[in-house]
Amino acid sequence: MKQIARDSLHTVRLQLNGVERGAACAARTLLSDFLREGLGATGTHVGCEHGVCGACTVQIDGVAQRSCMTLAVQAEGRHIDTVEGLCDADGPLSDLQAAFQRHHALQCGFCTAGILMSCDDYLRRRPDPTEAEVREMLSGHLCRCTGYTPIVRAVLEIAAQRGAAQAANAASNAASNAASPISVTSSTGS
């Protein structure tokens, strides 16, 4: 088996919120620490460091995962999305972030980055969840402040808003297709 010196450094390159980034780290460095200390992306928080609290959740190739349970070297060449990527630094909040603000779905905010990254992934996969399903998804996160109910309200509101917008788009497309039907010409040959 190949032996790796305890303190040997490895250069890890990845796409962080769509931007190519890289830094050197030890083989045992956690992705959570690499993001915060190696790349300066401190939006990702670290709580329990053993996969329980969910504070460190990021998206790896679009899937919400614990960055404290992932080695930085495992993220080589992957797409990592963190809370910093949910909206532009000087732009408006994403619809999900704005809903959290409206519903007071955060207080101290320590859990919030991880919860947002899970919810963002979840709503892509499950655009029309029930309250029970949202609560089950949130069971992977610990929040000591909110009691979870405002978070559930925010997620359900965004699911409903996105669903309504999608239905309105579909109706508008159907109406414009009906207004300009595709003409079918038959060819008799020559």
Q: Choose one: 19-27, 45-53, 119-127, 161-169; the region binding ligand FES (CB under 6 A).
A: 45-53
The helix-helix angle for 112-125 and 131-138 (nearest 10°) equals 130
Token representation of residue 30: 């956690």
Nearer to ligand FES, 2 or 50 (CB): 50
Nearer to ligand FES, 102 or 144 (CB): 144
Which of 14, 58, 60, 106 is close enough to bind ligand FES by CB under 6 A?
A: 106
Report yes or no: 91 and 58 within 8 Å, Cβ to Cβ. no
Shortest Cβ distance from residue 143 to ligand FES (Å)? 3
Residues 108-147 that bind ligand FES (CB under 6 A): 108-112, 143-146
Give first-to-last CA distance, the chain, whole Å: 75
34: part of which helix (H) or strand (E)?
none
User: What's the distance, CA 16 to chain centroid?
Assistant: 12
* Residue 56 contacts ligand FES per CB under 6 A: yes
Shortest Cβ distance from residue 68 to ligand FES (Å)? 3
* Residue 64 contacts ligand FES per CB under 6 A: no
Token representation of residue 160: 């409903």
Amino acid identity at 102:
R
* Residue 150 contacts ligand FES per CB under 6 A: no
User: Which residue bears the tokens 């925010």?
Assistant: 154
Nearer to ligand FES, 29 or 146 (CB): 146
Nearest to 153 by CA among 107, 96, 112: 96
* Residue 9 contacts ligand FES per CB under 6 A: no
Q: Which residues lie near ligand FES (CB under 6 A)?
A: 46-49, 51-56, 66, 68, 106-112, 143-146
